[in-house]
Amino acid sequence: DQITGGEKLMSPSIDMSTQLKLVGTEVASFGDPFIENDEVTAIAYENKQHGVYKRINISKDGSKLLGGIMVGDSSDYNTLFQLYINAMKLPENPEDLILGSRGGESKSALRSVLDLPDAAQICSCEAVTKGTICDTITSGTCCSLSDVVKNTKASSSCGGCKPMVSDLVKATLKSMGQEVRETICEHFEYSRQEMYDLVKLHSIMDFDEALDRHGKGHGCETCKPVLASIFASIYMETANRQAPIQDSNDRFLANIQRNGTYSVVPRVPGGEITPEKLMVLGQVAKKYDLYTKITGGQRIDLFGAQLHELPMIWKELIDAGFESGHAYGKSLRTVKSCVGSTWCRYGLHDSVSFAIRIEDRYKGLRSPHKLKGGVSGCIRECAEARGKDFGVIAVEGGWNLFVCGNGGATPKHAILLAEKLDDDTCIKYLDRFLVYYIRTAAPLQRTAPWLEKLEGGIDYLKKVIIEDSLGIGQELEDEMEELVKRYACEWKEAIEDPHMMKRFKPFVNSDETDESLVFVPMREQKMPRPW
C-alpha cells in the first residue's frame, strides 16, 4: 500500500529478487522460491557440512525456471536470475544448474552473456540493461570495465552484478575482434600466465626484482601472493623463501582459525598411518591441549595451537617422522584412498599403495589453487575420486583417470581423461596435466572452472595431454621431475633456522604470549568461545 498509494493492483509487478549477505552468509532468491503445485517440479540440493542449500522450481515440462532460493552460496544468482527473468530455455538436465555439470557439457543454458536479450537487466540497482552496456562499448565510448562502470553506473551500488558485467565487457570486446587481457592487478600489466613465463624466462628470483623489471609501484595484497605462488611453482620453493609476500596462512605455515589460533595438520599419505604415529599425535594433542578431528582428507587435524607453540609442536611431530601436510597452502593437500585390494574383497587394484605413490610424488607442489586427489580400488568409489581435481579409479585392465572435479560450494564431477592405464602411464599423464594447469590457470582458479574456460574443453585437454598436440609433453614431464627432486619439508626447514623462527612470536617486541585467547568446553574437548 505504501508503494502503490493504497491502490490495489490486479497483478503486482514488483520484483523481489535479491542477493544479500546476512551475518556473513550469502543468501539469494528470485521469482517464487517456494511455489508448490502440480505444474511445478522442485529440485533441491543440501550440503550441511558446508552450510549450503539450493532449490530451484521449474515448469513441469522442464523448459522454464520459475524461481529459486540459495543459502550459503549465491555465486550462480546472476545467471539463474537472467534465465528466470528472460524466460530462457533450460538445459536438458535442469538439475545441472545447481548440482554442476556431470559430464563434458556446460551446466548452464546460458553459454555466454551475449546470449541474453538486449532488454535483459544486468544491474537492477541502477536499472542498466545488457543493450546499454554493449552500446557503450561498440560505440567506442567505453573500452574497459572501469569505463563501463563510470559511464553506466552498472555494479557501482551493491556490486552483486559485477562478475556478469565483467563477463559482458570481455565478451563484447572479443566479439569486436579486440584482445582482452586479464591482468594480475594495477602493479603488473600481465596475466598470471604471462607473468609465469616472464619469471621463468628471465630467472627472476624475488618480488622486488619482478617489480623492478615488469611492474610499477610497491605491490599489493593481490599481486604479492600471486608472485609468491609463481616462484614456488617454478622453483619448488617452500613458503619460507618468500615469507614477507605470503598470505597469513603461508607466512605462518598453518591455517589461522576464527579466534586467532592455528591448526596443525601433518601429512598422512593415502590415509595410512602406523599405531606408533597415531600415539604421537595423541601425545602432542594432549600435551598442548589441542582439539582433534579427523578430516575429510583422511588426516588428523589439531586445532587451538598458539603462534609461539607451532615450532614446538612441529619439532615433536617431525622427530616422530611426520612432515608438513600443506593444509594451509595453495598446493597439493591430500590423495584420499579406499583400502583397495589389500583388504577389500571388491578391490581390483592396490589403491592405497598407488595413492601413497602419487601423494609422495606431488607433495609440496604449489599451484594457482589447492589440489586434491583420490584413488578408488573399484567403481564403488569409496575414495570419492570423481569429486577431486584428479581421481583414479581401478577397472579391469588398469586405471581410469579423471580430472577437473571438485567438491565445495559448487561441486563438479571430474571428467574422464583416459582409460585402462598402467601405473607409469597414469603418472605420466598426471605430470603433464598438473604442470599444464599450473602454467595456464588464473590466480586462485580451481581445475574445474579452469577447464570450463579452456577453449576446446576436455577434448582439447586430451589432445594436449594424451596426443601431445603442442609437442610439449616431454617438457612438462621433465619440469615435474625437476620439481619432485627439489621437494623439502618447509616446517623442518623452519625449525632448523633461527632466523625463520623469529616470525613465530605473537609480539615483535616481547616474548609474552597472547592472553586474550578464550576457550569453552565442548563434549570432552574444547572450542573457541562463541562470538
**Contacting residues for 425 by C-beta, under 8 A, at least 6 apart:** 418
Say if residues 248 and 312 touch (Cβ distance below 8 Å): no
- Amino acid 110: pLDDT: 58
Say if residues 80 and 30 touch (Cβ distance below 8 Å): yes
> Of 184, 318, 321, 337, whose CA–CA distance to 253 is shortest?
318
- Amino acid 85: pLDDT: 86
Strands 121-123 and 128-129: antiparallel
Tally the C-alpha atoms within 13 A of residue 106's C-alpha that lie toward its C-beta.
Answer: 14
Cα gap 255→261, rounded to integer Å: 8
Cα gap 136→152, rounded to integer Å: 8
Using alpha carbons, list the distances in angstroms from residue 286 to 281, 283, 291, 301: 9, 5, 9, 13
pLDDT tens digits for the chain (531 residues)?
666 676 665 555 567 788 887 777 889 999 988 888 888 999 999 988 778 899 999 999 888 999 999 998 888 888 898 889 888 888 888 888 887 655 444 444 556 788 888 888 888 788 899 999 999 999 988 888 888 999 999 988 877 788 788 889 988 988 888 877 788 998 999 999 999 999 999 999 999 999 999 999 999 999 999 999 999 999 999 999 999 999 999 999 999 998 999 999 999 999 999 999 999 999 999 999 999 999 999 999 999 999 999 999 999 999 999 999 999 999 999 999 999 999 999 999 999 999 999 999 999 999 999 999 999 999 999 999 999 999 999 999 999 999 999 887 778 899 999 999 999 999 999 999 999 999 999 999 999 999 988 989 999 999 999 999 999 999 999 999 999 999 999 999 999 999 999 999 888 888 888 888 899 999 999 999 988
Task: Tell me the pTM.
Answer: 0.75
- Amino acid 422: pLDDT: 98
Tally the C-alpha atoms within 13 A of residue 306's C-alpha that lie toward its C-beta.
Answer: 15
Which residues are paired to 46 by β-bridges? 53
Cα gap 92→109, rounded to integer Å: 9
- Amino acid 96: pLDDT: 84
Cα gap 43→107, rounded to integer Å: 15
- Amino acid 119: pLDDT: 84
Say if residues 526 and 291 touch (Cβ distance below 8 Å): yes
Angle between helices 130-138 and 162-175 (to 10 degrees): 40
- Architecture of domain 115-175 in this structure: Orthogonal Bundle (1.10)
Question: Domains of the chain: which residue ranges?
Answer: 18-106, 115-175, 192-251, 331-495
**Contacting residues for 259 by C-beta, under 8 A, at least 6 apart:** 517, 518, 519, 528, 529
- Architecture of domain 18-106 in this structure: 2-Layer Sandwich (3.30)
- Architecture of domain 331-495 in this structure: 2-Layer Sandwich (3.30)
- Amino acid 302: pLDDT: 98
Q: Where would I find the H helices in 158-220?
A: 162-175, 192-201, 207-214
CA-based torsion, 150, 152, 158, 160: positive or negative: negative
Mark 490-514 as b/e (b = at least 16 C-beta within 10 Å).
bbbbbbeeeebeebbebeeeeeeee
> Of 374, 362, 383, 367, whose CA–CA distance to 402 is shortest?
374
Cα–Cα–Cα angle for 170, 172, 178, nearest 5°? 75
**Contacting residues for 15 by C-beta, under 8 A, at least 6 apart:** 85, 124
Where residue 430 falls (left for φ over 0; alpha for ψ -120 to 50; beta otherwise) is: alpha
Cα gap 424→439, rounded to integer Å: 23
- Amino acid 105: pLDDT: 46
- Amino acid 245: pLDDT: 95
Tally the C-alpha atoms within 13 A of residue 35's C-alpha that lie toward its C-beta.
Answer: 19
Give residue 128's identity as a one-letter amino acid code. V
Cα gap 272→285, rounded to integer Å: 19
Asked if the domains at 115-175 and 331-495 fall in one CATH topology, the answer is no
Cα gap 316→323, rounded to integer Å: 11
What is the number of other CB atoms lying within 10 angstroms of the CB of residue 281?
22
- Amino acid 188: pLDDT: 95
